[in-house]
Structure 1
Amino acid sequence: MNPGNPVDTGHAGNTGHAGHAGHAETAGSPGHAETAGGPLRDRERQVLDRIERARHRKARVREDRVTLAHGAGGKATHTLIEAVFLEAFRNPLLETLEDGAVTGGLAFTTDSFVVTPLFFPGGDIGDLAVNGTVNDLAMCGARPRYLSAAFILEEGFPIADLRRITASMAEAARVADVQIVTGDTKVVQRGKADGCYINTAGVGTLDRPVRLSAAAARPGDAVIVSGPVGEHGITVMLARGELDIEADLSSDTAPLNALTDLLLSACGDGRVRCLRDATRGGVATIVNEIAESSQVAVVLDEDALPVRPAVRGACELLGIDPLYVACEGRMVAVVAAEAAETALGALRSHPLGADAAVIGRINDDPPGLVLLRTSFGGTRIVDLLVGDPLPRIC
């Protein structure tokens, strides 16, 4: 479905294709500013109600085999998690589906990395593995302390490349002030893996009484992004050399724990509702999770979203919306309205947050949906990612 088309009410739960996942122009969109709290037109309400019903159906995997879309962070990933993994492992800590489990003053998380190529401008699979797990802990409000590192290596993988990766991990751990304290190594036959895969798990301590959750957003809250989006995903895509596109880009991979510490210290208790790093599925996936978990509407302003010209240009050529492109050093924060300026000041005081911006607000209606006010004056629904336009970017 192209972004300018009306919502296809026959497929309300799947509005979008892989390149513009979930973008659907609402009927009568120029007048849709009423979604800020006033009445909706009847047809719009019918469409939104249909989407809401579709979203609340019990998750069911329709495919017989795993597809790349199941790892993209979008609709297929959410369905797989809820219908297979959550169904099998259900417990109170897991059910929240946050970036990590928080209990007993500790936060615990794990992540796996299969990026290709292994080395790309601005980073490699090694620092990506450290930063990704550090950031998941930071999004829980924790101070990252210890990591594990497990490697699956392919027979024939160059030792020089392995040394380069581990050196990168060591430096990333030093910058993030964490220690890699345990690990594992497995080697598989030539052709059975793509060189090197890494899993990292992390433990952090909760040094302040904070409870962050995607279910904590309230009407009136501000939605903030810590910097320009989409740089990592586009950088990795171009590094594969499959596209005749040149752009001066590098990955944004970075540890965010110092940035989150500044933010939480500046805003005080309870005024930061939620933190999420915008990895697979991008900002769009994060705000959809917040809207669904909190049963609120997230209304974004397209003109406020920071996107570097090179990223925007590459996205236009590839037919991809920057909202869905992965970052590895950017986070989305939902903060109380009265704390928005304080939050921006704290973020902008750090190099990683210098370009932080308020990109939207939390409204009460329509609950569970994300709306984007476009540069052309219309409003469209931003749904979860459908398909996998950028596979294996982390």
Structure 2
Amino acid sequence: MDRILLAHGNGGKLGYELIKSLFLASFNNPVLAQLDDAARIEIASGHLAISTDCYVVNPPFFPGGDIGKLAICGTVNDLSMRGAKPLYLTVGLIIEEGFPLPDLETITASMATTANEVGVQIVAGDTKVVEKGSADRIFINTAGIGMIPEGINVSGANARPGDKVILSGTIGDHGIAILSCREELAFRTTLESDCAPLNQLVSQILQVCPHLHCLRDPTRGGLATTLNELAIQSQVGMVIEEARIPVREEVQGACEMLGLDPLYLANEGKLVAIVPASETDKVMEAMLTNPWGQNARVIGEVQASPSGMVLLKTEVGSTRILDMLSGELLPRIC
């Protein structure tokens, strides 16, 4: 393969292989090699978390949010997945010539509102305008810095056999909300993206379980890909129970109609927590009291083997390998 495909950007198997074979090989260092959602940097007064992300979602306005809200939430969540308190963000805008100024005002207002709600400051930025046809309306890059509290060491490499796997809520909401805009799908009830900042939820979890092992938000590639990434990082196996995974009726119906699997759909306001078995009840109690964790479920367990693999116990009683996303499911999802 000598060309980049759309599938390289979907957060699945091809993207993971590209990171390992090209980017990690070119930029390799001990911090980057951890392959977590944010880098953990040691400084004299403690540890910083640093993360960056780009947002190209199509369309830029969707039920439950817009590209501006998504950009702030995405980077805040990546910092939070290392146990950090998000503090500062930078924003870079690439805008296509002819983009409506009122739409840009709406997006920047959404970013400001979300940042204020989270308690982070946008402290630097850049704007570029490209010729009409050289981009698709608007792309946003955000980078963030947060402070990791003393004693907190959350990483995708920390899962241990016997740990429980907790999912904070329903999956696939964002993916189907975006698809409904593109394909003009109608539902009996309003289906919105789950786009939300998770820093307060993470803070509540760490208050009751400071020795939490792993956190990860299942965005591109969905829950299935995220679980595989954690299993590979920690060199453990996982067994997940399909019947315990919450899926909204509208999402399940859309997936059945379109031939999609909700396990591979993007989410923008959910997290996976891997916790010591003895701490499970405390973590669940903390999550259920938070609006972004009120549908939390224990969905599985970490095992010693098969290392780097995730097994799914299906609702019909069989067991199958749950692999990373392969191919392109929904491009331009975030």
* Paired amino acid for 2:174: H
**8 Å contact kept, 1:140–1:211:** yes
Q: List alignment gaps of at least 5 residues for structure 2.
A: none
CA distance in 2, matches of 1:288, 1:343: 22
CA shift for structure 1 position 286: 1.1
Identical pairs, percent: 53
Q: List alignment gaps of at least 5 residues for structure 1.
A: 1-62
**8 Å contact kept, 1:245–1:314:** no
Q: Are 2:51 and 1:113 aligned?
A: no
- Give the SS at the match of 1:286: helix
Counterpart in 1 of 2:23? Answer: 85
**8 Å contact kept, 2:187–2:250:** no
Counterpart in 1 of 2:69? Answer: 127
CA distance in 2, matches of 1:365, 1:86: 26
Counterpart in 2 of 1:228? Answer: 170
Count of paired positions:
329
* Paired amino acid for 2:213: R
CA shift for structure 1 position 366: 1.2
CA distance in 1, matches of 2:84, 2:209: 16
Counterpart in 1 of 2:292? Answer: 352
Scaled by the length of structure 1, the TM-score of the pair is 0.82
**8 Å contact kept, 1:98–1:214:** yes
- Give the SS at the match of 2:307: coil
Match of 1:183 among 125, 138, 145: 125
CA shift for structure 1 position 245: 4.8
Match of 1:278 among 207, 218, 224: 218
* Paired amino acid for 2:267: C
Q: Are 2:258 and 1:292 aligned?
A: no
Counterpart in 2 of 1:264? Answer: 206
* Paired amino acid for 2:253: G
Counterpart in 1 of 2:247? Answer: 307
Larger Rg: 1
The two structures, once aligned, show a CA RMSD in angstroms of 0.9
Counterpart in 2 of 1:324? Answer: 264
Counterpart in 2 of 1:250? Answer: 192
CA distance in 2, matches of 1:126, 1:243: 22
Alignment of 1:1-394 (within 5 A): 63-104=1-42, 105-240=47-182, 242=183, 244-246=185-187, 248-268=190-210, 270=211, 272-394=212-334
CA distance in 1, matches of 2:253, 2:91: 36
CA shift for structure 1 position 207: 2.1
Counterpart in 2 of 1:10? Answer: none
CA shift for structure 1 position 244: 4.7
**8 Å contact kept, 1:154–1:193:** yes
**8 Å contact kept, 2:8–2:18:** yes
CA distance in 1, matches of 2:148, 2:236: 28
* Paired amino acid for 1:340: T
- Give the SS at the match of 1:351: coil
